[in-house]
Amino acid sequence: MGAGCASTPKAVTEQIPHEFTFPRNFLWGAATSAHQVEGNNINNDWWEWEQTRIPKARSGQACDHWNRFEEDFKLAQALGHTAHRFSIEWSRIEPQEGQWDSAALEHYAQVIRSLRAKGIEPIVTLHHFTLPLWLARQGGWLSEKTPQLFARYVKKVTEALGGDVHYWMTLNEPVVYTYKGYMAGEWPPGGKSPKEAIDVFENLLLGHVLAYEQIKEIYTQENWQEPMVGIAQSVLIFRACSDRSFRDRIAARFRHWMFNHLFVQALVRGKAYCIGVFNVHLPRAKTLDFIGLNYYTRDFVLHHGYGFPGILGQACTATAEQNRHTGKDNFLSWEIYPKGLHTFLEDFSRYKLPLLVSENGIATNDDTERVSFIVEHLKAVAQAMEEGAPVIGYLYWSLLDNYEWAEGFVPRFGLIEVNYTTQKRRIRGSARKLEKIIRAGKIGFEKHEY
């Protein structure tokens, strides 16, 4: 182009990306859960389930993180992480009913000290899908006694570790847990009963409230700085299989309410009601100090009758969804849909509570896909924050490749690759990309009309 040519200002503006600077105290890091990384959690219901139901997907020694946490946290520190979410394995703390293992409590105290020494904020999950065997044998979350037993375990853990923890997450994905274990029959205990699922759902709500009260009470007694207590809520975009079908749209709306909002709404309001299905009253309202959101994908929903659970709909056929699908899937065939994260951060802002992206990640064998997954999702976070969403952090799932429940070790979610034969760790390029963004503290993006 000749020197005298006038350039069009519009084209220039379009090329300049908009830049968003994250707050200095933004929590940057990754998440794991005990059963998926520690190894040899032989005393819980998942271990038992693996031996009989999924012999090809046994957790075994997993990532041996129980013994290698120090090495793993050094890597997280080198990658610029300032926060780390992990879970405490109840079956290690209370191996038999009412018997407490002080060595196990001391182990987690060391885990927390190791993180703190590296300038990494611990974010502690108290229940991430597994139950001690003794408790599973007496009905697990189906039993009316379990909310109290959960609160008693939380009391022990808080007394032992509380002085060093600011962020607690009582439950991980209570709705997914209920659905997979009590309706779909895919996870322990393999239930397929909507009636049981509703009982479990109610007991989980109560369990959270009692645990919340317990934690708060101990912090007050001990004069520790007031903690932040929340849950990790799974959120999935639900789209009608056919936008022209009123019935599909209803099914998608109903799913959205039931799977994404109901649990959180019940905790905020202290009650939940669904005509002819349930009517729950909790001992108190407002038992969330922040909301963790685990976001991965979008589902297309086909109407399946007006009764319960038919109204939840079912997955629609590939052909029907084809024209609206982004065309990109992860290794587990979950659609990659970054825009959905923006949608939820905006949507959940309605609760006027701090939001933490407590899980977001991709299973893939192609690390360049992970790079673009992370970048695109962080752009969605940046835009939501710029528009006012109160986001306090972003935790990638997961720090390490790990045991992906019924899918076993095949899906690779890690920022760090694990060789399960040698237990060698290798930092992936995507981890370096995330590190760059963390260290820069900002990201460039073009505004979308979401």
Q: Which residues bind ligand FCB (CB under 6 A)?
A: 33, 36, 172-173, 176, 234, 294, 359, 397, 404-405, 413
Give the shortest CB-357-to-ligand FCB separation in angstroms.
13
Give the shortest CB-36-to-ligand FCB separation in angstroms.
6
Instruction: Count the Cβ atoms, other than its own, within 10 Å of residue 363.
Output: 23
Residue type (1 letter), 81? H
Based on CB atoms, which residue is closest to ligand FCB, 347 or 404? 404
DSSP annotation string for 106-135: HHHHHHHHHHHHTT-EEEEEEESS--BHHH
Give the shortest CB-303-to-ligand FCB separation in angstroms.
25
Compute the distance between CA of residue 398 and CA of residue 304 in angstroms, rounded to an integer. 35
Give the shortest CB-169-to-ligand FCB separation in angstroms.
11
Give the shortest CB-178-to-ligand FCB separation in angstroms.
13
Give the shortest CB-402-to-ligand FCB separation in angstroms.
8
Phi, psi dihedral angles at 166 (to 5 degrees):
-105, -35
Compute the distance between CA of residue 372 and CA of residue 326 in angstroms, rounded to an integer. 14
Compute the distance between CA of residue 36 and CA of residue 187 in angstroms, rounded to an integer. 14
Based on CB atoms, which residue is closest to ligand FCB, 171 or 389? 171
Based on CB atoms, which residue is closest to ligand FCB, 173 or 199? 173
Cα dihedral sign for 113, 114, 118, 123?
Answer: negative
Compute the distance between CA of residue 266 and CA of residue 207 in angstroms, rounded to an integer. 13
Q: Answer whether the bond into residue 193 is a cis peptide, omega within 30°.
A: no
Compute the distance between CA of residue 292 and CA of residue 288 in angstroms, rounded to an integer. 10
| Tokens of residue 86, six digits | 């992990």
Based on CB atoms, which residue is closest to ligand FCB, 92 or 249? 92
Give the shortest CB-359-to-ligand FCB separation in angstroms.
6
Based on CB atoms, which residue is closest to ligand FCB, 178 or 214? 178
Based on CB atoms, which residue is closest to ligand FCB, 171 or 385? 171
Instruction: Count the Cβ atoms, other than its own, within 10 Å of residue 20.
Output: 18
Are residues 337 and 326 in contact, defined by beta-carbon separation less than 8 angstroms?
Answer: yes
Label the pairing between strands 391-397 and 27-31. parallel
Q: Answer whether the bond into residue 283 is a cis peptide, omega within 30°.
A: no
Give the shortest CB-361-to-ligand FCB separation in angstroms.
6
Based on CB atoms, which residue is closest to ligand FCB, 248 or 369? 369
Cα dihedral sign for 104, 186, 55, 297?
Answer: negative
Based on CB atoms, which residue is closest to ligand FCB, 157 or 176? 176
Based on CB atoms, which residue is closest to ligand FCB, 234 or 364? 234
| Tokens of residue 364, six digits | 């893939």
Give the shortest CB-143-to-ligand FCB separation in angstroms.
23
Closest CA to 378 of 292, 439, 450, 445: 445
Are residues 28 and 440 in contact, defined by beta-carbon separation less than 8 angstroms?
Answer: no
Based on CB atoms, which residue is closest to ligand FCB, 65 or 249? 65
What does each C-alpha distance from 368 to 142, 225, 319, 371 come to in angstroms?
Answer: 43, 42, 28, 5
Give the shortest CB-172-to-ligand FCB separation in angstroms.
5
Q: Answer whether the bond into residue 309 is a cis peptide, omega within 30°.
A: yes
